[in-house]
């Protein structure tokens, strides 16, 4: 199983980036894919998830209206379009995959995922 993130970089506040998570080694259509992030000195945060079986999505309150998750099942790839980026979005972004439905407790996406990528750095300057 392999998850490879790409698309990170450095942008100014207000800018956009699109992250990609290329998956291999498992039946993509049966899995939920999520994006987590961990900023400097912060706890890991669930940003967004998508269930490839039914297309249902989740967004953290901090990114609603700015980030969009999508999936291309033909390419086994999940994307995270990030618009109106803010300095507080600076973090390493990880994609994760699991065969179970996303677990959300108290509005927060739990990091209960079997497989993780190595992450891609996103830096937003003010």
- Read off the pLDDT of residues 97-109 as tens digits, 9 standing for 90 and up: 999 989 999 999 9
- Read off the pLDDT of residues 28-70 as tens digits, 9 standing for 90 and up: 888 999 999 999 999 999 999 999 888 899 999 999 999 999 9
Separation between Cα atoms, residue 121 and residue 114, nearest integer Å: 21
Instruction: Give the mean pLDDT of 1-7.
Output: 96
Separation between Cα atoms, residue 28 and residue 119, nearest integer Å: 19
Instruction: Give the mean pLDDT of 110-121.
Output: 96
Separation between Cα atoms, residue 98 and residue 82, nearest integer Å: 23
């Amino acid at each position: 199983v392999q998850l490879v993130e790409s698309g990170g970089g450095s942008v100014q506040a207000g800018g956009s980036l699109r992250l990609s998570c290329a998956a291999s080694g498992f039946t993509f259509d049966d899995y939920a894919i999520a994006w987590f992030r961990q900023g400097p000195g912060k706890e890991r945060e669930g940003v967004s998830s998508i269930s490839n079986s039914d297309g249902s999505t989740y967004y953290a309150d901090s990114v609603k209206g700015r980030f969009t998750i999508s999936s291309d099942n033909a390419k086994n790839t999940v994307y995270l379009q990030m618009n109106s980026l803010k300095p507080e979005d600076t973090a390493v972004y990880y994609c994760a995959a699991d065969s179970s439905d996303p677990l959300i407790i108290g509005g927060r996406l739990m990091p209960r995922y079997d497989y993780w990528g190595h992450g891609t750095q996103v830096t937003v300057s003010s």
